[in-house]
Amino acid sequence: YATVPYVFAVYPSLPVANIKELIALAKAKPGQLNFASSGNGGSPHLCGELFKVMAGVDIVHVPYQGAAVAMTDVLSGRVPMICTGATALTAHLQSGRVRAIGGAGLKRSPLMPDLPTISEQGLTGFEVNSWTGLLAPARTPEPIVRRLYETVAKIVNSDDMKNFLASVGAEPALMDARAFGAYLMADTAKWAKVVKAAGLTLD
């Protein structure tokens, strides 16, 4: 199991330096600020919707057919903000083509230790990341599940895997079967509430 932290970033000309300033600007200009995503229903879209719900603001979702196209329009300033994985932003942050204003994890990312989380900046509990996990059929015998976990844990804890995950901006987050199952249930419930609150429907 591993996670990739998400980051809220804006085009440099947008006059905000942090999440509180973004919320103030969005409240001053309801329905006038747009955020890009890689498509309806993906994590970048839901990140924006969670922000809308928790901050009580009206910002407009602009879905694209893929992350690359969305990022192109953010880099050109056509759409002023995006919430996406840190790995997709690293080079653009270093070049100054976008500005990070908040990390979407509950704790600061080792990749950006000086970037305050959105939760730190007033939206307590705000958390968005993408995760990778290993699933097995529901009736898989417990001894096999346990052996799979032990094998994966050994791999994830190896220096080679830790270095690889760090190189792609991911963080190891090992959970056993019971903990991972509970996490999935809680994550599903969380996003179901966001989808309902935002009034989202299938295309």
User: Which pLDDT value is given to residue 179?
Assistant: 92
Q: Which tens digit of pLDDT belongs to each residue from 139-166?
A: 999 999 999 999 999 999 999 998 888 8
User: Which pLDDT value is given to residue 10?
Assistant: 97
User: Which pLDDT value is given to residue 203?
Assistant: 61
User: Which pLDDT value is given to residue 172?
Assistant: 86
pLDDT > 80? residue 167: no
pLDDT band, very low/low/confident/very high, at 202 (cuts 50, 70, 90): low
Average pLDDT over all residues of the chain: 91
Residue 36: enclosing H or E segment and its boundaries?
Answer: strand 34-37
The whole-number average pLDDT for the span 92-117 is 91
Percent of the chain predicted with pLDDT > 90: 65
**CA gap 166, 63 in Å, rounded:** 29
Indicate the residue type of 7.
Answer: V
Among the ranges given (49-53, 60-64, 78-82, 160-164), the one the predictor scored with the smallest mean pLDDT: 160-164
Residue 199 structure tokens:
């009034």
The whole-number average pLDDT for the span 13-36 is 97
Q: Do 83 and 128 touch, CB atoms closer than 8 A?
A: yes
